[in-house]
Amino acid sequence: MASRASIASRVARVAPAGVARARRAARGRGAATRATRRDDDDDDARRAQPSTASTTRRRALALALASATTRAVDARAANVPSPAIASSGALGALESQFIDVFGRAERAAVNVVDLTVLNQSGNQSAFAGAIVAEGNGTGVVWDDEGHVVTNYHVLGGVLASAPKGRKLGEVAKVTIQTNEGNRTFAATLVGASKEKDLVVIKVDAPKELLRPAVVSSSSEGVRVGQAVFAIGNPFGFDHTLTTGVVSGLNRSIQSQVGSLITGAIQTDAAINPGNSGGPLLDSRGQLIGINTAIFTPTGTSAGVGFAIPIDTVNAVVPQLIASGEVVFPSLNIKFASASVERDLQVPVGGGALIQSFIGDSAASKAGFLATRRGIAGIAPGDVIIAVDGAPCGVAADVVRAIERKRVGDDVQVTALRRAAVGDANPEKVTRTIRLATANA
């Protein structure tokens, strides 16, 4: 056995040689690794830079696929039936008439906004779905002096806020359509009739911008079933045209300010908030009424709209322009309600029962009798059945006939006189009455 000293000596001699060989081997492996990495990098570079031929082949393949897809789509489309495409032809006669009426009358319709509404909102714009406050309505250009007619209730806010007896200045803003777009002008009050829901305002606009409406002389010729056109600003949408027919005549309605309007024209042309004060036109484009009210449970058009007849407008507007107020002729009679007529056995619809007289009534002076209490009980008053030969079935007929006259005119009034309740043989009485102004 070799001694520990000899073993240690051999290890000492062998160790330097082994270490040297290990170092040479390590250097060899490192070089090989670096060579391998260079080869890998070269392969990556070659893969990252494909040849021009390869790129061209791929592009050609993509184009071929796209072309094949297009041909397939075209083939499927060829099998889908296509609609018949018609060239735009001439409009029908009815459409042309509608367009002509609107074209001639649209400039006569203007937007009218109560000044108090503007002060609250800051502007007069309206948007789809917005609730348009009362006071945003329509008006009709009456003449080239700048007079504009609209409803009293459109300007009800500013008129109600003014102290009684004080002359008002600016009350509204009026927007007029021009060739260069819409222009807005201040409007001052000329005159108002709350009783007839009409007001006249004036704009200081150049005459060349004003297009007065063509006003019909009378609404006597209006017939149920005839075509009518309404132009207005419903919900703030300016110069909106709606069409319909006259669906009723001689309606008695209560205006939005509580007054009785007789002889109203009923129409199914859509009238909505914002249409108030606008024109109702016939097929010739003539003004036959001023749109004023709707009958609706929802607040929007239900196909039952009403216009103040042009007879009333023609009677009121000139007076408002001349003096700022209206003087109405009157019989100064208070008529009984239908329930009172039934109680006194007076046929409802057979005339207007005189209940009492108002103030110093010319009808009373002429010898007509009001409902009164006699020895045998209540005696019914005279029942007016005609004015100047025109039949009157209800009180509104009498009022309408009288309002077509003027203060100072003489009218013939015919009535039936019953001696007692239930009298089946009434006496016919005719008297001439000179019309006076309406008593308060």
Asked whether the CA dihedral 272, 275, 280, 284 is positive or negative, the reply is: negative
* 273-332 tens-digit pLDDT: 889 999 999 999 999 999 998 876 666 667 789 999 999 999 999 999 999 998 889 999
* 335-388 tens-digit pLDDT: 998 889 999 999 988 999 999 999 889 999 999 999 998 777 888 999 999 999
* 40-72 tens-digit pLDDT: 555 554 554 555 667 777 777 777 777 767 666
* 196-236 tens-digit pLDDT: 999 999 999 999 999 999 999 998 899 999 999 999 998 88
- DSSP codes joined into one string, 334-399: EEPPHHHHHHTTPPTTS-EEEEEE-SS-HHHHTT----EEETTEEE---EEEEETTEE-SSHHHHH
Task: Catalogue all structural domains in the chain, each as residue range(s) with its CATH number.
Answer: 100-213 (2.40.10.10), 215-323 (2.40.10.10), 329-437 (2.30.42.10)
* 105-121 tens-digit pLDDT: 999 999 998 876 655 44
* 131 band by pLDDT with thresholds 50, 70 and 90: very low
Q: What is the mean pLDDT of the chain?
A: 82
- DSSP codes joined into one string, 91-108: PPHHHHHHHHHHHHHGGG
Higher pLDDT, 168 or 411: 411
Tell me the three state secondary structure of residue 262.
strand
For position 200, what pLDDT does the model report?
Answer: 97
* 16 band by pLDDT with thresholds 50, 70 and 90: very low
CB count, 10 Å around CB of 131? 8
Q: Find the distance separating the first CA and the last CA of the chain, reported in whole Å.
A: 156
For position 269, what pLDDT does the model report?
Answer: 94
**Over the range 413-433, which residues count as b (16 or more CB within 10 Å of their CB) and which as e?**
bbbbbbeeeeeeebeebebeb
Which residues belong to the active site? 153, 197, 276
* 142-158 tens-digit pLDDT: 999 999 999 999 998 88
Report the predicted TM-score, pTM, of the whole model to 2 decimal places.
0.68
When pLDDT is averaged across residues 26-41 and rounded to a whole number, the result is 50
State the Rg of the chain over Cα.
46
* 156-196 tens-digit pLDDT: 888 887 766 667 788 999 999 998 889 999 999 999 998 89
For position 288, what pLDDT does the model report?
Answer: 97
Question: How far, in Å, CA of 64 to CA of 44, rounded?
Answer: 30
